[in-house]
């Protein structure tokens, strides 16, 4: 950019500044900072040189090209799944009135955000079988941590039980939140391990190793000791699976990112958080409610329907240190994309897509299992992820596949479950191209033959 | 807003669910041509799910109509104080959505994500330069998430010093954002409020009185929510450290001081930034944001995982600090937002960021002098990034509240300012024009506010009923809270 030229993001010119400074009554922009301690003023600091827009695009394109090719066969799941996202989800979510708005503090000019959030809450309640939902938290793990804090408040107990196999990231985040609140985290191996010390039992659906959990006996185990039952559910799988609410869950959390768009190395995400009615006033995060205009519109007629942030007495900006959570900015735009995807699929599409995912994953697993020297572990009914054991240790198998241009499933060989020993967790979804599965089968056969 | 709905249509009463027509669909799903695997046992499955059935075109029209009922920074001036609503460069969205970045799987081996990781590394280094604090974790998803990280880091440090059992209090100024006390409480501390001095800074004597061996930390926002520099903050840092406590920085107002002064140089131990404010990533109607946390050498071992580091062989990796507080999200943070923030940093460079703070502060002062005399100004002195007026005169003399003034501003085509915050200013009107507004927009905003001040004397009823031109009028918020309706129900159930 030529020296002295105004920056495209900063409209004021030198002439503007001179006029404004004169009106303010100071000599220079620097003089506006005279309250700052002289000793520390205007520090030397270094950033990479400024780029013009074409230079910026070129640099970022170069960097993007250093990542794995977007078309590379990739069998990782373990909390992030490739989905077929309807084109309209990205299209509508990129409308600037949605993208460039702040949190809807002024409902009269924020009905787009607010009514969309009400749609989101409705969709989440339908999928999870819960009575109430907030507008979304950061991601599934932080939502689950908030669910544990809610359970501890509601039961006045100071321990929580997480049922294995659960995502290790979820355990880690729950531990971080729990430490602050003085809550003990027990990672348990069976639903029967929950005791009357626990505020809740948390179970993942499908579990971390891919198996579909039978939630009802777990809910009964939790309720038998007056603990809450929290389900961490994949909302896409809920197109096919029994709703956690129907099975007895008190709180349901989940990850909405996969139905919102591409994984982007893990975020932004959106953490689903829904609960039974009785926990409404203990919920963290923003909640949108439906109401009417105070007065009929100037043109006449009845007061119209509108949406507002509600039950704000739970929130940090009103309640400060007595709030249910410190959440302020969350993940509204990702929640919007999630909502549009689910609604575009509709009741039949969601079921069809979930069944397609199930069929493709099972067909791929059957092909792997049919290869000499490979096993697919039977852990009961499963949805989209399966455990594979091959002729080589997991890490070596991953390297061999990488050498053939394939990203293997997750190495879970260090987990405690006996079925996971030496195993890799492969994910195949409705969006995994057939050609990628063919490539995988070919490569596994070749590795099997040569090792 | 591009569309104003006719007054007689109750658009809000018709959700997508109500517009549903059984049999329609918006997308199709490929059929499975292979061998059928039997589904799991029926008791594990659901019968159906209630979702709307709309054609693709209808669904697009519905959400397009919804978007028209929203106001964003692309719609016009958005002087929402403390929220730093500035123009969001579109190139940032473009580069963040490049397929190489978008499709990167969070569990992929680092070799497959070097492009993303190098960006995160350079952003981490850039934020260390901007804050003057050498260590940075990009993991937190938002400002409040970064606050939680920072306070939990302090908890860890006190644990290692063997002082966690005694240091149970966090001091928070009365002008602080609500997230500060909420975070402190969430991390298990009790909160003591420190009053603001007459000059708008922190009350030094009150602070000194409260500082003792029961204090874990002081949370300070610099500049504060009055838009004022906290006079003597570097001296307060010494007092706080002498008392064995930490100084936490809420970096929400970084936009005022980028390139002018650095948190680390002033003695802050740990600070969070809101990249959706100062680094101009779009706010999305309530997120996603990003709330990186930066700290001193002493606290680095407690940072939330992961940390982006470069090996000797120039490979960028993710590392878990030795005594980390743990992870705060399942994966690596709001990476899509971080790429946008990186693009913003590169488009500005060091000189550009200085120009940003300079213009942001000039714009706030320009607004201050243009509106001066028309509204009360409880702290009547030059400001930094924002200025807090008060509507007390309008309320006292004309029975017009700040609430009415804010709503009337909508009719003039602007987003209202932040109102009734900070709590220490009565009838507060907190205005932050940011550097991306041209002078003529600030003049138009000031003219509108001055016109409203005149209206409050001449025609208060117009203000009481405002807004008149928005897609919907004032809503019954009390009723919404009294009888919560929080989801769609089939008409029969209502």
Q: What is the pLDDT of residues A82-134, one digit of tens each?
A: 999 999 999 999 999 999 999 999 999 999 999 999 999 999 999 999 999 99
What tens digit of pLDDT does each residue of B164-187 get? 999 999 999 999 999 999 999 999
In the numeric block, which tokens belong to residue A244? 């956690």
Residue A158 forms contact with B (CB below 8 Å) = no
Residue A297 forms contact with B (CB below 8 Å) = yes
CB contact under 8 A, B347 and A51: yes
- How far is B14 from A340, CA to CA, in rounded Å? 16
With beta carbons less than 8 A apart as the criterion, state whether A422 and A413 touch: yes
Cα A139 from chain centroid? Answer: 4
**Burial class, B184, CB count within 10 angstroms (exposed 0-12 / middle 13-18 / buried 19+):** buried
Render the burial of B209-220: b for 16+ CB within 10 Å, e for the rest. Answer: ebbeeebbbbbb
What tens digit of pLDDT does each residue of B129-139 get? 999 999 999 99
With beta carbons less than 8 A apart as the criterion, state whether B387 and B364 touch: yes
Residue B185 forms contact with A (CB below 8 Å) = yes
Indicate left, alpha or beta for A359 from its phi (over 0: left) and psi (-120 to 50: alpha): alpha
- Chain A residues 420-439 within an 8 A CB cutoff of chain B: 430
Residues of A in contact with B190 (CB under 8 A): 321
> Is residue A153 predicted with pLDDT exceeding 70?
yes
pLDDT reported for residue B2: 46
Residues of A in contact with B234 (CB under 8 A): 37, 39-40
Q: Of B14, B448, B388, B442, which Cα lies nearest the Cα of B225?
A: B388
Counted across chains A and B, CB pairs separated by less than 8 A come out at: 714
pLDDT reported for residue B494: 47
Residue A54 forms contact with B (CB below 8 Å) = no
pLDDT reported for residue B5: 47
Q: What percent of chain B shows pLDDT beyond 70?
A: 98
Q: What percent of chain A shows pLDDT beyond 90?
A: 92
Q: Of B450, B151, B104, which Cα lies nearest the Cα of A72?
A: B104
**Burial class, B225, CB count within 10 angstroms (exposed 0-12 / middle 13-18 / buried 19+):** buried
What tens digit of pLDDT does each residue of A41-95 get? 999 999 999 999 999 999 999 999 999 999 999 999 999 999 999 999 999 999 9
Residue B114 forms contact with A (CB below 8 Å) = yes
Of the pLDDT bands very low, low, confident and very high (cuts 50, 70, 90), residue B8 is: low
What tens digit of pLDDT does each residue of A313-332 get? 888 888 888 888 888 889 99
> Is residue B4 predicted with pLDDT exceeding 60?
no
CB contact under 8 A, A266 and B333: yes
Of the pLDDT bands very low, low, confident and very high (cuts 50, 70, 90), residue A2 is: low
What tens digit of pLDDT does each residue of B71-87 get? 999 999 999 999 999 99
- How far is A425 from A71, CA to CA, in rounded Å? 20
What tens digit of pLDDT does each residue of A229-278 get? 999 999 999 999 999 999 999 999 999 999 999 999 999 999 999 999 99
Mutation test of the interface with chain B: which of A170, A185, A205, A326, choosing the one with the most B Cβ atoms within 10 A?
A326
pLDDT reported for residue B1: 46
Distance (Å) from the alpha carbon of B487 to chain A's nearest alpha carbon: 4
With beta carbons less than 8 A apart as the criterion, state whether B486 and A132 touch: yes
Residue ranges of alpha helices (H) inside A67-157 are 87-93, 96-99, 111-128, 140-155
Distance (Å) from the alpha carbon of A411 to chain B's nearest alpha carbon: 10
What tens digit of pLDDT does each residue of A327-363 get? 888 999 999 999 999 999 999 999 999 999 999 999 9
- Asked if omega into B288 is within 30° of 0 (cis), the reply is yes
Residue B297 forms contact with A (CB below 8 Å) = no
Mean pLDDT computed over every residue of chain B: 96
pLDDT reported for residue A317: 81
Q: Would the ipTM clear 0.95, i.e. be above it?
A: yes
- How far is A222 from B285, CA to CA, in rounded Å? 37
**Mean pLDDT, residues B326-332:** 97
pLDDT reported for residue A3: 56
> Is residue B7 predicted with pLDDT exceeding 50?
no
What tens digit of pLDDT does each residue of B358-389 get? 999 999 999 999 999 999 999 999 999 999 99
Phi and psi (nearest 5°) for B426?
-70, 140
pLDDT reported for residue A5: 66
CB contact under 8 A, B486 and A305: no
**Element housing A230 (H / E):** strand A228-233
Q: In the beta sheet, which residues pair with residue A67?
A: none
Mean pLDDT computed over every residue of chain A: 96
pTM: 0.97
CB contact under 8 A, B29 and A19: no
Name the closest residue on chain B to residue A266, using Cα atoms: B106
Among candidates B94, B177, B488 on the partner chain, residue whose Cβ is nearest the Cβ of A122: B488
Residue B165 forms contact with A (CB below 8 Å) = no
């Amino acid at each position: 950019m030529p020296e002295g030229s105004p920056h495209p993001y900063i409209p004021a010119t030198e002439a503007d500044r001179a006029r404004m400074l004169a009106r303010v009554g100071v000599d220079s922009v620097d003089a506006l900072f005279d309250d700052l301690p002289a000793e520390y003023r205007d520090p030397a600091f270094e950033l990479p040189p400024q780029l013009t827009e074409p230079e910026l695009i070129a640099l970022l394109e170069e960097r993007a090209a250093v990542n794995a090719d977007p078309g590379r066969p990739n069998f990782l799941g373990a909390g992030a799944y490739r989905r077929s996202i309807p084109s309209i989800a990205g299209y509508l979510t990129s409308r600037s009135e949605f993208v460039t708005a702040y949190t809807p503090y002024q409902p009269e000019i924020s009905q787009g955000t607010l009514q969309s959030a009400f749609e989101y809450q409705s969709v989440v309640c339908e999928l999870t079988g819960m009575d109430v939902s907030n507008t979304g938290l950061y991601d599934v793990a932080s939502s689950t941590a908030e669910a544990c804090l809610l359970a501890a408040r509601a039961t006045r107990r100071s321990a929580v039980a997480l049922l294995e196999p659960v995502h290790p990231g979820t355990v880690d985040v729950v531990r971080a939140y729990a430490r602050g609140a003085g809550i003990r985290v027990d990672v348990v191996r069976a639903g029967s391990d929950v005791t009357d010390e626990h505020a809740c039992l948390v179970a993942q659906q499908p579990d971390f190793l891919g198996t579909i959990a039978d939630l009802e006996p777990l809910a009964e185990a939790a309720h038998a000791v007056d603990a809450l039952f929290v389900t961490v559910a994949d909302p896409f799988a809920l197109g096919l699976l029994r709703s956690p609410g129907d099975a007895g869950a008190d709180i349901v959390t989940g990850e909405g990112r996969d139905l919102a768009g591409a994984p982007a190395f893990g975020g932004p995400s959106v953490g689903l958080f829904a609960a039974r009615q009785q926990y409404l006033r203990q919920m963290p995060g923003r909640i949108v409610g439906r109401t009417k205009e105070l007065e009929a519109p100037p043109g006449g007629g009845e007061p119209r329907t509108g949406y507002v942030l509600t039950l704000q007495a739970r929130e940090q900006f009103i309640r400060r240190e007595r709030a249910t959570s410190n959440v302020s900015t969350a993940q509204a735009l990702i929640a919007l994309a999630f909502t549009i995807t689910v609604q575009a699929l509709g009741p039949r599409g969601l079921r069809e897509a979930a069944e397609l995912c199930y069929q493709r994953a099972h067909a791929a697993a059957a092909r792997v299992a049919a290869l000499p020297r490979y096993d697919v572990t039977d852990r009961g009914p499963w949805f989209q992820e399966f455990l594979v054991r091959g002729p080589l240790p997991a890490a070596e198998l991953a390297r061999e596949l990488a050498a053939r241009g394939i990203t293997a499933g997750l190495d879970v060989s260090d987990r405690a479950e006996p079925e996971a020993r030496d195993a890799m967790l492969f994910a195949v979804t409705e969006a995994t191209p057939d050609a990628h599965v063919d490539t995988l089968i070919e490569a596994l056969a070749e590795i099997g033959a040569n090792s | 807003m591009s569309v104003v709905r006719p007054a007689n249509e109750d658009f809000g009463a018709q959700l997508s669910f109500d517009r549903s027509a059984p049999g329609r669909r918006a997308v199709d799903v490929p059929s499975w041509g292979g061998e059928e695997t039997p589904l799991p046992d029926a008791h594990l499955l659901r019968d159906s799910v209630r979702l709307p059935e709309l054609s693709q075109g209808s669904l697009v029209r519905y959400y397009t109509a919804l978007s028209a009922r929203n106001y964003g920074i692309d719609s016009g001036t958005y002087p929402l104080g403390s929220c730093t609503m500035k123009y969001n460069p579109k190139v940032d969205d473009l580069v963040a959505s490049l397929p190489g970045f978008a499709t990167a799987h969070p569990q992929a081996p680092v070799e497959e994500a070097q492009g993303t990781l190098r960006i995160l590394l350079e952003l981490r280094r850039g934020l260390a330069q901007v804050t003057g604090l050498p260590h940075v974790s990009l993991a937190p998803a938002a400002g409040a998430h970064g606050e939680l990280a920072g306070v939990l880091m302090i908890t860890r440090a006190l644990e290692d010093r063997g002082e966690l059992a005694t240091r149970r209090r966090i001091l928070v100024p009365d002008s602080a954002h609500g997230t500060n006390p909420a975070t402190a409480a969430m991390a298990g501390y009790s909160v003591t409020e420190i009053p603001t001095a007459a000059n708008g800074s922190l009350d030094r004597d009150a602070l000194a009185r409260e500082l003792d061996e029961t204090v874990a930390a002081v949370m300070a926002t610099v500049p504060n929510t009055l838009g004022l520099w906290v006079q003597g903050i570097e001296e307060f840092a010494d007092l706080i450290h002498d008392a064995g406590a930490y100084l936490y920085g809420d970096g929400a107002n970084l936009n005022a001081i980028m390139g002018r002064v650095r948190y680390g140089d002033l003695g802050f131990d740990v600070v969070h930034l809101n990249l959706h404010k100062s680094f101009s990533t779009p706010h999305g109607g309530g997120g996603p944001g990003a709330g990186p946390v930066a700290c001193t050498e002493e606290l680095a071992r407690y940072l939330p995982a992961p940390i982006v580091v470069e090996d000797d062989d120039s490979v960028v990796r993710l590392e878990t600090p030795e005594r980390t507080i743990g992870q705060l999200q399942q994966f690596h943070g709001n990476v899509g937002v971080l790429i946008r923030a990186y693009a913003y940093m590169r488009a500005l460079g060091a000189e550009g960021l200085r120009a940003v703070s300079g213009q942001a502060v000039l714009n706030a002062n320009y607004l201050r002098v243009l509106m001066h005399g028309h509204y009360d100004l409880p702290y009547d002195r030059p400001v930094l990034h924002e200025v807090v007026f008060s509507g007390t005169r309008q309320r006292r003399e004309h029975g017009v509240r700040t609430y009415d003034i804010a709503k009337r501003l909508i009719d003039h085509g602007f987003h209202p300012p932040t109102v009734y915050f900070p709590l220490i200013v009565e009838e507060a009107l907190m205005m932050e024009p940011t550097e991306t507004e041209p002078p003529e927009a600030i003049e138009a905003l000031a003219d509108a506010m001055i016109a409203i001040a005149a209206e409050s004397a001449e025609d208060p009823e117009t203000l009481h009923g405002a807004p008149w031109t928005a897609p919907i009028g004032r809503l019954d918020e009390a009723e919404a809270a009294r009888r919560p309706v929080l989801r769609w129900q089939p008409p029969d159930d209502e």
